[in-house]
Amino acid sequence: MHIPILSLGLLGGLTFAAPAPAPAPAPAPVPVPVPTAAALLPRVRGTEWINYTTLTGFFLQDESSTVPGGFDYWQKFEHYVWRLNRGSGRNVQYKVLYLGRHGEGYHNVAESYYGTPLWNCYWSLQDGNGTSVWADAKITSNGVAQALKANAFWANAIKTTKTPLPESYYSSPLTRCLQTSNLTFSGLDLPSGKPFIPTVKEFFREGISGHTCDRRGTKSYIQSSFPTYNIEAGFTETDELWKPLLAEERENQDIRSKQVLDDVFGSDDSTYISVTSHSGEITSLLRVLKHRVFSLSTGQVIPVLVKAETIVAGAPATTTLPWSAISTCASPVPGATSP
């Protein structure tokens, strides 16, 4: 099935640059049938694996040739995705992922203040500087404003643009993502059958380094601070992945990114899914999805239409690499402590 390429932009800042309304009178909305069967891939066995690709030409970040236009874009797009899933075989499914980066955190401010070289070799290895704390960083007042802007976007989407709402929600276990997702989706007029009850998944976390901002809090802390959030099975009380002075290699991060995608696509029958994560982790997810490189600022979101296909054959070989040591430097000049 072909539909016109009517682009919706990046949900930026969440400036979700929706197409401008057409001056002509509104035609009747496109009806969107409700699927009657669960859209789940069969569980992958030892001789099978899931291959991911992205369908481009729908969103501004996909390619430069997309042309904005069409106030009823989302209704057409939703119908198109429904048709894709209805016509796909047992081993193929399509989902739309809303990949969102957390709002500005105190670690972002500190890196900007000290500069990336000094941040990487010294300040990122500290819990803070006596004025600010960035271990498992919280979001700043600007980060709060970014998340509330996203909330206003979704509130308008419900009333006006009819953008398909997330049916499932996932979050990194780091505080800045938990805060951002909570502020973004709480208080919205969501369907009663699709409430905002996010699931915290370990592997949606940022690339793991010796930076203290990448060290998550305990399971007990997350449960007490965000009591309405579900936490995935097997989630350990303490952070057993973070290692002082060591950094995860990009190849290792991509392996775990694929693992968490496999888990979501194999267990969640939702078509529209929100993931609140981090710049580095979203970059990794996009690599796994074979999407072009796309950088997000804090508080921004992009939608990605994903095709997942179970391949009946042995999975391509993957190799994990040893973690690398972080370069460190001497303490900076005393007094240069306050961002």
Which residues are known to be catalytic? 102, 206
74 residue type, one letter: W
Maximum Cα–Cα distance for the chain, whole Å?
67
As a whole number of angstroms, the distance between CA 278 and CA 199 comes to 16
Token output for 128: 């803070």
**Non-local CB neighbours of 266 within 8 Å, separated by 6+ positions:** 40, 41, 42, 43, 44, 50
- Which one-letter amino acid corresponds to residue 54? T
Cis preceding-peptide flag for 14 (omega within 30 of 0): yes
Q: Where are the strands (E) in the chain, listed by range?
A: 6-7, 11-12, 15-16, 48-54, 67-68, 92-101, 168-171, 199-200, 230-231, 246-247, 272-277, 301-312, 324-325
52: CB partners within 8 A, 6+ apart: 258, 261, 288, 289, 290, 306, 307, 308
102 touches 298 (CB < 8 A): yes
CA distance 99 to 196: 16
| Neighbour-count burial of 285, counting CB atoms closer than 10 A to its CB (0-12 exposed, 13-18 middle, 19+ buried) | buried
